[in-house]
Amino acid sequence: MPLCLPETRTCRDAPALRLFCFPYAGGGAAVFRGWQAMLPPELEVCIIELPGRGRRINEPLLHSMPAIICDLKRQLLPMLDRPFAFIGHSLGGLVAFELCHMLQNGGWPQPSCLFASACAAPQVGDVSTPIHNLPDAEFHAAIGNLGATPTEILNNKALMEFFSPIVRADFTVVETYQYVARSPLATPIFALVGDRDNLVPIERVAGWGDCTKAGFEVHVMSGDHFMLFSGLDVALGIVVEKLLRHLTPAAQPCDTDISLVAGVPPTLLG
């Protein structure tokens, strides 16, 4: 089954850049639907679908980061025939980061940018209490406290029996992830963080600057852990501005900067 859902990609022969989107734990391709219509026509949205959900529902769930990278590698490489960038939210940010290292280590093309949304710097580690091995009732309560699962799902036994293994597998990936120190990436990193994110507070994203030699910025948005989606206009304004800048041959790597994005969306270019 393809890496990107066909209906979420535009049918362009030669997009200027492909933006690969990586969902959060328990999320699927649907969380990025509608993005293509909000972006300039030269940018093509390619949404990552992990096994065990969506159109890959009949494939086994994956429970480790190495397994995910191995799965995505064979599907991603043929699509790197033009400039591209990665954006990942929470778990998706870690997956995108590890894919960047896989590409760099293999001598393959590098992303123009890496956007890590609501994702702590990988060397910081997960400081929350592990939940992936809790009994079902306690696990369901724990994911309910995160605020990403609709009440109608939490209160529906059949739906929880369906979704719970997906979420548990993804949390296993997060909570068993082992950071390995390597040479910094040759890709600029832009960290997006919510000013009310209790899971990934601002101080836990600063370490992303040590993961790259190509420039780093932090953009603080209004919102909680899911500010990427609640403040989508603002977030995509940042993404578009950075992508179009790095598509320009004369563009230089950005300096480290911490900026506050306050309420008013940047102009969407294009």
Q: Is residue 92 situated within a structural domain?
A: yes
Q: Residue 137: what pLDDT?
A: 87
Domain that holds residue 101: 6-124+182-260
Asked if the structure places residue 176 within a domain, the reply is no
How far apart, in whole angstroms, are the C-alpha atoms of residue 4 and residue 17?
15
CA–CA separation, 153 vs 167, rounded Å? 13
What local confidence, expressed as pLDDT, does residue 247 receive?
77
Q: Pseudo-torsion of CA 225, 229, 231, 232, nearest 10°?
A: 150
Q: How far apart are the first and last CA of the chain?
A: 32
Tally of CA atoms within 13 A in the half-sphere of 48 that contains its CB = 29
DSSP secondary-structure letter at 212?
Answer: B
The question of whether 90 is a catalytic residue gets the answer yes
- Is 131 part of a structural domain of the chain? no
Residue with tokens 């009310």: 196
Q: At what angle do helices 136-146 and 157-176 cross, to 10 degrees?
A: 80
Nearest Cα residue to 236 out of 89, 77, 98, 91: 89
Report the C-alpha gap between 200 and 125 in whole angstroms. Answer: 11
Residue 87 covered by a domain: yes
Q: Residue 148's pLDDT band (boundaries 50, 70, 90)?
A: low
Rounded to 10 degrees, what is the CA torsion of 185, 66, 126, 193?
50
Is 141 inside a domain boundary? no
Structural domains counted in the chain: 1
> Residue type for 45, please?
V
- 142 lies in a domain? no
Q: Does a structural domain hold residue 159?
A: no
Domain holding 27: CATH number? Answer: 3.40.50.1820
* 132 domain residue, yes or no: no
pLDDT in tens, 162-214: 889 999 999 999 999 999 999 999 999 999 999 999 889 999 999 999 999 99
pLDDT of 264 above 60: no
Which stretches of 77-165 are assigned E, i.e. beta strand? 84-89, 114-117
DSSP at 184:
P
Whole-prediction pTM value?
A: 0.86
118: tokens are 């609501």
Whole-number percent of the chain with pLDDT over 70: 85
Instruction: Indicate if the pLDDT at residue 111 is higher than 60.
Output: yes
Distance CA 50, CA 8 (A): 15
Catalytic residue among 64, 90, 112, 128: 90
**pLDDT reading at 255 higher than 70:** no
Q: Where are the beta strands (DSSP E) in 51-180?
A: 84-89, 114-117
What would the pLDDT profile of 74-107 be if each residue is shown by its tens digit?
Answer: 889 999 999 999 999 999 999 999 999 999 999 9
